[in-house]
Structure 1
Amino acid sequence: MFLMSNTPGKTLCEFEIALEDFKKNAQLGPDEAEEFRFADLNSLRSTIKRIQTEQEAKRRMRNMKRLEPFLQIMEQYGHAVDVFVNTSEILAFVWGPMRFLLKVASKYADALDRLLEAYQTIWGELPLLSSFQDLTSGRPYTKTILSWIYHDILDFHREAMKYFRGKVWQQVFQAAWRGFSSKIDLVKTKMQRNYNLLKAEASLAQFEEVRRIHRIAVDEFNNQRQAELDRRQNYVTQWLCAPNTQGFQEEIAEARICADAGSWLVRDRKFTNWTDPHFCDNPLLWVTGKPGAGKSVLVSCIVDEIRKSQRLSRGAATQDTSIAFFYCKHKDTSRNSFLAIAKGLLSQLLDQNKHLIQHFYEKSSNCGEISLHTKVLAGELLRVALRCSKRTYILLDGLDECDARERRYIVEFFRNTVEALPTADMDSIRCLFVSQDDREARKGLSNIPSINICPSDTKHDIHSFVRIWKDKIEQKFGNLPGMRYDIAKIVTAKSQGMFLFAKLVMENMYEQTSVENLISELANFPAGLDQVYARIVERILNQTTSTRKSDAQRLLQWLVCAKRPLKWYEFQATNCVDLNGDDYDPKEISQMIWRENPKDICGSLIDHHKDGTVDFVHPTARETREVIPSESHFQITCLTLSYLNLPPADPTADAEMTQQALMAGFFAYLEYAVVCWSLHLQEYSQSPGESKNLEELGEELEVFLGIHYKQPAPDLIVPNSIKEELSIFDRFDFHKELSQAVTWSRKQLGAHGKPLESEHVLDLLKLVQRVRGILESSGESQLTGEQRASLKALYGTNWYKCSRTNCFYFHHGFQNESQRQQHIDRHERPFFCDISDCDFSSLGFSSKDARNNHMLEIHGLDIDGDLEFPEPPRKMQKIKAGSSQHQCDVCLKTFTRGHNLKAHLRSHANEKPFSCTICGVSFGRQYDKTRHEAIHVGEKKFVCFGTLKSGATWGCKLTFARQDKLADHFKSKTGMQCLRPVLMEERQEATGGSSKVDSEGAGATSGSVEDDLAREHVLFLQHSSYIHKPNLPTL
């Protein structure tokens, strides 16, 4: 195999091709490449000797002799390939990367131990090349096989170097290296195959067959590895449950109709300093502006500019730069807290730094949280992610949209994170805060550089924006030559730097129905944002028909009072309820649903987003005087209860009625109604208003409880807060049932969200389950393409949803059943094995202890014992005279005896003073050393053997020194055959004797039985006493 080089007329041999490939993909810096080029075996041995000396001084020897087989093999390898190629640079790029790995890993004992173990695993059992016949005797393909060996060594070093690079490699090493174990196994297999090929003096046909097998194995490995990486990233993405920040960015960017919007900011010295790619002396920057000044648009411009200047594209980062941003939103729980911001930033940084996947996956699968909901863990992950790149830009827009407590936490977290950076990296994290300049903001941001958006800054941008809208208005109404008004100048001057003001005014003018009305608007020009809102609301509510006015009023009420952002199809379904109607007619449902676009109903006052949600154009629009919250909550509560009282929502409704209602779109509002009816009732009960409203609501509640209250119902303990809240209903006969129903509803939204079936007070969740079952089966039924498209328009595309009401995916859902089932499994068994090829990496465990026991006993990994980097200082707190408490300075755990504290401190400092007297391997505990030495002395207490109840025996009688090794044996195909009689006997007892087992364990079983046995085998490995009993039978 030859390749043309960059030098004309020169070709590269197989070794040089492998070396060029390494240089290209290893991402070497100029200094590293130069250092590697001049590396040799002597310099490597000097480095090894220095590391040994340092370890000996610290009494932390790591058995560096494990490197010797590799060094000897490579030394002889150099002599073998010297005939084919100049080996000076070829071998230099073996010694150089190895020296780099050892120097970096030597700073952290556990990392060095893992690296040495990898060298021993791959090369420890390979014979020396001198044991083969003369490799230079002209045998065909010898050169090619030797080049394969070289390529595999470079490939191992290239990938291993990834785990020892970056500022946070210590924090992510444990998880990342576990993911590397499969690569180590592959390199070992390839090495053995190549050695066998050299030894066998293969023919041409054999050589080509091995080459084919080699390619298939590599392709299969890469595909499996990528599939597992994708699975883990999807798992983490679901666990983060982050809002679609990129979607918001694209929407805002599309709203920028001016090509050079925000160009004034590029000329600001503070901003150019903040974006300087080489150095920034103030990595924190605060941009302020009054409401409606176009701050979000400005942030979107900055995001695009940074991406452009750093050659970033969506979802991909350069080697040195990452960028993440977040748009906060008032009263949206998914966008107005530190946790929401952390989720959004982590999701983006994960897309740009794929090496974080393993670390994030282990954190998510070990924490037991179905989704990230603790600030401590979010902060821990975010600190790691922020430092992954040489430079990370963070942009946080709308901090004033968060409440005061969250805002303080957000500012303190990012300020502390940036200010804690070492001097050499002081500008590696750049953070831009964007908010109003109010008292709360000044508390945390007053002493950092700031840029205040002034009217003079945005005047040009607003004028350009207004001129574009002026042209649109003239296209609609025609040229207005006789008009004495210059719309563009008037709006620009009156806006006083407020983009929102200009936008609303121009859109309101465009929505006028005649030139006369347009001129009237200009003649009575609004003086401020409040007047603009008032004009728009007045125009909306002064519709030509009372129906359109009613629709607009209802939509505004929902936008002010909704407990979560609603999709438009959910809004549409609320119109199925006619509070003034007497009868329910299923044929009229589809006729009652809104068919218009929401902007046709409420105009420029609202936005209809790409994800289907509908919201106000700006948080300031929420304070419209036309909506009285207490009255609106009353209306919504009555509507919701009436909806749940209609015949399709009755648990006794027949299948035909349910199907008809489903196809008409009736059930699009069901999930919100089931979750939020009690929340709107709570809002109303705090200010109930007129007594006639209470009577009307009481009637709806009485009917609602009569339909949905279960008999007999459990007797729940009602909190005093709920008793006080519902005291206005004490005079009604149903007040006890109502208290029980509200208590049950709130419990559904609590931390667990899934009480036992016996604890259900209402039948609402059964109703949801029944409707969802019909909708899901519709995807597989014989529906026409038009019918299926209609259902997607009425219910969205995510039909497969979580059953827990407190879960985001209860209303968001998934696109297929497989995704939903994986999500539900995480609710039930949220702790997962970290080893990718283990069955329990997907099955999971119900508790953290069960998972940790599995990791220790099956895989030999002590998860709780994994070290944190860097190593903490080894010191003890001084003990006062007479004190019986000895406290650890690291974790604050206390001990009654000093020697227990010393032993505990070794777990933090990775001290391993107990060495094997035979092979020298070190351990942190005497017990671990004793257990290990049993392997050498031949003490084997664990036996694959036992007696069945029938008197027959089972097992192969192999003996093992350790319990976990016996467990590994049971996991193998041979071990499964050993266990087969046990499984068959247990199955026979469970099925009443329908399966027969003979003395050899051979059972006459069907294919389904074989499948059942395979599943039972997995469960057996976790729970069986045959593995976990310390007193296993011995021969």
Structure 2
Amino acid sequence: MDSKELLNIVNAFLEKVPKPSDKDLFEVTTYEDVREYISSIQSIRESTRNMINMKRIQPFLTGMEQFEKVLVALQCGHVAKIMACIWGPLRFLLEVTNMTDREMDNLLDVYEKLGNKLPLLYEHVGLFAAIPDTATCLVQIYQDVMTFHQLAYQLLSLRPALLQKIYKPTWKALVASTDHLLSALGRHEKFLSSSGFPVHDPEAPLYLDAHSSTGNFSPGSVGDEERTKAHLHEYLYTLKRFRGAFEDGEEQRKERAKKSVLLWISASKKTDSLHKKFQDTRICPDTGRWLFKRYSEVSEWMKEDQPPESAIWLQGSRGFGKTILTSLLIDELGELRTEKKKFTIPQESKIYYFYCQEEDSEHRTYLDILRGILHQMVESDEELLPLCVDKAESSGNPSLADTETAQFLIEAFIEYNSRQYVIIDGIDECETGEARKAASFFMDQVKKCENEIKQGRLRLLFMSQPSPDLARAKIMPGEDACVQLKGTDNAEDIRSYVKKRILDFSAAGATRSGFNLSESDKDQIESSICRRSEEMFLYAHLAIEYLLQQPTKEKLKEKMKEEMAPKELSQIYEKLLGIVQAELLNLTEGQAHWNMAKRLLGWLVCAKRPLKWHEMQSILSYDPDQQKVDFDNKMLRQDASKYLGSLVHVLEGGHMRIVHSTARSYIIHNRYINAQAVHCELAVLCLRYLCLVSESKDYVDEERKEKAKLGWFSFQDYACSQWHSHISTVIEMCGDLFCGINYSQYHRDMFGAALQEFMSKHDADLAKERHRDFMTQMPPELTRFEGLFFYQDLRDLWNHIYTHQKGTYDIRNTVGITRIDEAMIGNRNVLEDFTPNMEAYHLDTIEDYYGPNLYKCKRLLCKFFYVGYDRKDDREAHNSRHDRPYQCPVHCNSAPLGFLNKKDRDRHVRSYHPDLSDGPSMFEALRPRNGSRSFKCSLCDKQFTRKITQLGHERSHFGEKPYKCSMCDKAFARLSDCNRHQKQVHANRAAR
């Protein structure tokens, strides 16, 4: 028999064994070694009265012993090496699982099942000798056994701390694979049993040589050789299909599981589109590459096996282009692990990143960062998927809502992978408390890896502006690992960028030659912008955008003359907004266009959560006076850039992004937009629109369906969930608008009328009793409005909102107005009958009006109330895990979904509301148990809480040491001492 196929399986297995000591074991172990080791296990367990049914492994031992003898009989080469890969892993798995009864028991169960399915190969040796092709059945059997060993070794060879975390869900996930292998072994047995050959005498020697007579095994005496070969062909064909179907099914199952876990993690969907946007900004191939040449801290952090610093902090000034550098770092690391770069870093290296964004509610908290990193971990590693599935299912929560669970899973991934890079850009854009939590957690993981595993296993990089708060907290990388980027570093990048963008001035527009600039004109633009930019890449970008929007060459040259170009960012923002204004005012009905642009920008920066483009379109399409929505005639048909210029980008998925965090501050405080007025208008919009939603409760089915199709309910997700926040903002911020220095009768009357209409329609659903907090007096912010005609309505509405927000979790998860709640549910039910690509009106689709996700969560405090799902099954799975029995006693928004058990709720109370906690301090010293010590030593008065501890103690009286090390002659009175010795002494030696 040719051993080539068997050796291929052996080599494939050994290639995946990372530890040299394990590989050595798998190349030399024999059947006798295994039997001897099993005997030692039994002896120790017998002497400690901790027996386990080791007989379960006997069928497997017998079957594989026969397998080895058949290989010898068939004169197969390299039998010792082939079988060492059976006996070695078997011994290893027994040794590892012997530490815990549960793991040993599970392993023995599998070996018993495998052994019972192994064919009695000695019965079929004649078949293998007479028709050599049938020996491929032996290869198939060997492949199945080695597949199990591969799966088991991959799990049980992990570090003990990690194995303890993932063992239960991962072993459970292996059941499908082991069942498949058992079925495959059954197919091998069926083929051999139906081959038509006589059964070999089990007592006869299994020895064949060139002089042996094979007449007794002649196929002609019992059947037709051709029929047997045809049977063999059919067996191999069906076996291949069987395995292929299982692999396809497993792949589909894992994809479903991964999708479910990613939905549960519910990370921002904008990370990829942000990275793509930053990649596209790097229009020059050498942009940022100085970072790897000038700063050895960065290149060593990327490439060295053991870098001087595993965590570094890169700092640059505002507008420097740090985020562009971050995107370059991420892409460069991806390149370094490819053949193109000669695998400068290990091919299996993982790269995780997150872009913090001050203005994005999904990119600025500690939990946002954890979710983003964990999402990428799950995407790149399926090995820990069972653990993630288990955590998602046991959380009882439709989405990942607590940092403890996220931290636990991230720690598991970090422990599992041999090298990983974590890059967090703009951590200073998070609130200080959130930034400190993120920095502290990831820095702790770096220290843990360096202390327990290996320096450089986890590499962490922060990119931000200098942050005195974070530096003072002593949680960021130290001074030696802090890299201050110099103002001159990016000078050539800025110049190259400007040179490249100057080509845009020659792009065909109204004329074929663009601005028709001479070389001296181009040199002047380049020189002026580069000189003014200093170290601000952002300035160069915005200055180019500003100049490109000049209408004529004359105007362009005028702006470049006599230092007329803007010098500061605020001036550039002013100019860019001024250009939008000028262009729109030049259009027919230009003032209306400009007013619309101001409204769009105002909504964008004053909304309570990021608005999507279709939501802004729905506001434009809504006529509050006529109480109707007209997408077809009122939605913008031009690109958003016409009205928002270069200040705002629309990312994939309709997400709106302001060009830079500095732009928002300018937009709010510039002379064109009155933030108080915008807040008032948004409150009015919500009140008016909710009246439209309320009226829809009385629609007949056909009318509701028709209006839903035309986009009438496109804004209801925002209005239903944010209306009370906008009323709160009006009370807190708009007093001057109604009766102060910024008095506007227009806004006062508009708000008053909307408020009166809302109250008249919904008075029956409002709280009638004044909340106990308002029994003596109303809040001072509210009393400012006492002299206004709508004060009583505002007071009553605020009392209702306050009462609603102080209610239980279930109450706060509703709109708070029964009629609106019922109408919203009815409207959503109709929308779920549509599909995104369905025609809404002529060529407009449902997705144009509502976005791609039509299946929404019904709970207002959940982000999936407005994000939604594109499949009903995903939404139902989300809802099925939503109800949690233990709620925060003060109904805080840090835990909107509650807790699965009292322990988690109490921990939350101790962390966030310590004054309400009846439990001990989180840092209270551990105390001895007060329970009775029922296990007393029969030789002295000492008592113990565990029987096994008492037995170990009694053995020490007599000097008994039944636990003998399997690697040396040392013996111990307690099993735990023996295990500790083996791990600390022999494992460490093997590692060295």
Matches within 5 A, 1:392-403: 392-403=420-431
Most deviating of 125-134 and 297-306: 125-134
Matches within 5 A, 1:280-299: 280-299=307-326
Matches within 5 A, 1:69-108: 69-84=59-74, 85-86=76-77, 87-108=79-100
| Aligned-partner SS, 2:462 | strand
Give the 3 Å change call, closer, same or farther, for CA 130–673 of structure 1 in structure 2: same
Q: What does residue 715 of structure 2 align with?
A: 669
Q: In the alignment, residue 515 of structure 2 is paired with which amino acid?
A: F
Matches within 5 A, 1:52-71: 62-71=52-61
Most deviating of 436-445 and 41-50: 41-50
Q: What does residue 651 of structure 1 align with?
A: 697
Residue 525 (1) aligns with residue 565 (2): yes
Q: Tell me the alpha carbon deviations over residues 384-427 of structure 1, each in whole angstroms, 9 at most, x when there is no partner.
A: 11222111100000111100111111111111111122254121
Indicate conservation of the 8 Å contact 2:300/2:307, yes or no. yes
Q: Tell me the alpha carbon deviations over residues 626-647 of structure 1, each in whole angstroms, 9 at most, x when there is no partner.
A: 2443332112111222233348
Residue 218 (1) aligns with residue 243 (2): yes
Q: What does residue 486 of structure 2 align with?
A: 454
- Counterpart-to-counterpart distance in 2, 1:610 and 1:903: 64
Give the 3 Å change call, closer, same or farther, for CA 646–712 of structure 1 in structure 2: closer
TM superposition shift of 1:739: 3.7
Q: In the alignment, residue 797 of structure 1 is paired with which amino acid?
A: P
Counterpart of 1:635 (choices 656, 678, 681) is: 681
| Aligned-partner SS, 2:832 | helix
- Counterpart-to-counterpart distance in 2, 1:712 and 1:450: 57
TM-score (norm 1): 0.74
Q: What does residue 236 of structure 1 align with?
A: 261
Give the 3 Å change call, closer, same or farther, for CA 154–332 of structure 1 in structure 2: same
Residue 682 (1) aligns with residue 714 (2): no
Q: What does residue 41 of structure 1 align with?
A: 31
| Aligned-partner SS, 2:156 | coil
TM-score (norm 2): 0.77
Residue 513 (1) aligns with residue 555 (2): no
Q: Tell me the alpha carbon deviations over residues 220-269 of structure 1, each in whole angstroms, 9 at most, x when there is no partner.
A: 43333333222221111111001132222112111211111110111111
Matches within 5 A, 1:377-776: 377-421=405-449, 422=451, 424-443=453-472, 444-445=475-476, 447-448=478-479, 449-475=481-507, 476-480=514-518, 483=521, 486-523=524-561, 524-542=564-582, 543-544=584-585, 545-578=590-623, 582-584=625-627, 589-624=631-666, 625-626=669-670, 627-646=673-692, 650-653=696-699, 658-659=704-705, 661-687=707-733, 688-689=735-736, 690-691=738-739, 692=745, 693-708=747-762, 724=779, 732-735=791-794, 738-739=797-798, 741-743=800-802, 746=805, 752=810, 761-776=817-832
- Counterpart-to-counterpart distance in 2, 1:445 and 1:79: 63
TM superposition shift of 1:312: 9.7
Most deviating of 622-631 and 259-268: 622-631
- Counterpart-to-counterpart distance in 2, 1:541 and 1:888: 60
Most deviating of 675-684 and 69-78: 69-78
Q: In the alignment, residue 174 of structure 2 is paired with which amino acid?
A: F
| Aligned-partner SS, 2:150 | helix
Q: What does residue 917 of structure 2 align with?
A: none
Give the 3 Å change call, closer, same or farther, for CA 423–790 of structure 1 in structure 2: closer
Q: Tell me the alpha carbon deviations over residues 125-183 of structure 1, each in whole angstroms, 9 at most, x when there is no partner.
A: 86865678866674787523333222211111112222124443332111101101122
Residue 815 (1) aligns with residue 870 (2): yes
TM superposition shift of 1:536: 1.8
- Counterpart-to-counterpart distance in 2, 1:890 and 1:311: 51
Q: Tell me the alpha carbon deviations over residues 921-979 of structure 1, each in whole angstroms, 9 at most, x when there is no partner.
A: xxxxxxxxxxxxxxxxxxxxxxxxxxxxxxxxxxxxxxxxxxxxxxxxxxxxxxxxxxx
Indicate conservation of the 8 Å contact 1:172/1:359, yes or no. yes
Q: What does residue 214 of structure 2 align with?
A: none
Q: In the alignment, residue 243 of structure 1 is paired with which amino acid?
A: S
- Counterpart-to-counterpart distance in 2, 1:261 and 1:238: 36
Count matched residues: 845
- Counterpart-to-counterpart distance in 2, 1:509 and 1:178: 63
- Counterpart-to-counterpart distance in 1, 2:693 and 2:60: 77
Give the 3 Å change call, closer, same or farther, for CA 384–423 of structure 1 in structure 2: closer
| Aligned-partner SS, 1:607 | strand
Q: In the alignment, residue 242 of structure 1 is paired with which amino acid?
A: A
State the superposition RMSD in angstroms.
4.0
- Counterpart-to-counterpart distance in 1, 2:950 and 2:414: 26
Q: In the alignment, residue 337 of structure 1 is paired with which amino acid?
A: T
- Counterpart-to-counterpart distance in 2, 1:374 and 1:401: 21
TM superposition shift of 1:12: 5.7
Q: What does residue 897 of structure 1 align with?
A: 932
Indicate conservation of the 8 Å contact 1:123/1:188, yes or no. no
- Counterpart-to-counterpart distance in 2, 1:213 and 1:401: 59
Matches within 5 A, 1:791-870: 791-827=846-882
- Counterpart-to-counterpart distance in 1, 2:725 and 2:401: 22
- Counterpart-to-counterpart distance in 2, 1:812 and 1:890: 44
- Counterpart-to-counterpart distance in 1, 2:108 and 2:316: 57
Matches within 5 A, 1:873-884: none
TM superposition shift of 1:297: 0.5
Q: Tell me the alpha carbon deviations over residues 661-714 of structure 1, each in whole angstroms, 9 at most, x when there is no partner.
A: 444434322211111111111111112222344453232122123334555979
Q: In the alignment, residue 896 of structure 1 is paired with which amino acid?
A: G
- Counterpart-to-counterpart distance in 2, 1:710 and 1:685: 23
Q: Tell me the alpha carbon deviations over residues 342-379 of structure 1, each in whole angstroms, 9 at most, x when there is no partner.
A: 11111101111101110011011111122111111111
Indicate conservation of the 8 Å contact 1:753/1:804, yes or no. no
Give the 3 Å change call, closer, same or farther, for CA 528–903 of structure 1 in structure 2: farther
Give the 3 Å change call, closer, same or farther, for CA 445–318 of structure 1 in structure 2: closer
Give the 3 Å change call, closer, same or farther, for CA 70–786 of structure 1 in structure 2: same
Q: What does residue 974 of structure 1 align with?
A: none
Q: What does residue 172 of structure 1 align with?
A: 166
Give the 3 Å change call, closer, same or farther, for CA 910–556 of structure 1 in structure 2: farther
Most deviating of 766-775 and 704-713: 704-713
- Counterpart-to-counterpart distance in 2, 1:409 and 1:152: 47
| Aligned-partner SS, 1:770 | helix
Q: In the alignment, residue 250 of structure 1 is paired with which amino acid?
A: K
Give the 3 Å change call, closer, same or farther, for CA 196–651 of structure 1 in structure 2: closer
TM superposition shift of 1:498: 0.8
Query: Aligned residues: percent identity?
Result: 25
- Counterpart-to-counterpart distance in 2, 1:760 and 1:424: 53
Indicate conservation of the 8 Å contact 1:110/1:910, yes or no. no
Matches within 5 A, 1:924-1003: none
Q: Tell me the alpha carbon deviations over residues 792-827 of structure 1, each in whole angstroms, 9 at most, x when there is no partner.
A: 222222222222222222212222323322322232
- Counterpart-to-counterpart distance in 2, 1:482 and 1:91: 80
| Aligned-partner SS, 1:815 | coil
Q: Tell me the alpha carbon deviations over residues 754-783 of structure 1, each in whole angstroms, 9 at most, x when there is no partner.
A: 769xx95332233323333333324399x6
Most deviating of 79-88 and 772-781: 772-781
Most deviating of 897-906 and 488-497: 897-906
Indicate conservation of the 8 Å contact 1:70/1:124, yes or no. yes
| Aligned-partner SS, 2:170 | helix
